[in-house]
Amino acid sequence: MSKTTTMNVEIRFGDCDPAGIVYFPRYHRWMDAASLHFFMSFGVPPWHVLEHTTGIIGTPLLEHHARFVKSATYGEKLLISTHIEEWRNKVFVQKHVITRDDDLICESSETRVFCVRDAQDRRRIHAIPVPEDIRRLCE
């Protein structure tokens, strides 16, 4: 089991559809931000810094499963709790739980990989084994 982080989100008018309900892609944007927040909270540098020291450019998403339970609207505050459910050789599964007070709004499971640029063709990227130093920081 990994450590857990939390990130606060205040819903703004522009986050909502014409009915005043948070437009679902906003949740995915917030969860992506919560993923980076998770690593940075435990001492991992932001990806643009890490690229210069280790070559790691980030943790692209391979698979995403979300379950929406309740709606939310502007003016409300959400809390995103994030942890790593499972570490594998090249991938990890990250879990996000979004709540409003005691209400579950959404939960998500994401499969991600650490990636570096290809040495021959810098436009291409490829997955690397989960770096042990990063894993140790997050467990």
The burial of 60, by beta-carbon neighbours within 10 Å (0-12 exposed, 13-18 middle, 19 or more buried), is given as exposed
Catalytic, 17? Answer: yes
Exactly one of 15, 17, 101, 102 is catalytic; name it.
17
Q: CA torsion, points 112, 117, 118, 119, in degrees to nearest 10?
A: -150
Annotated catalytic residues are 17
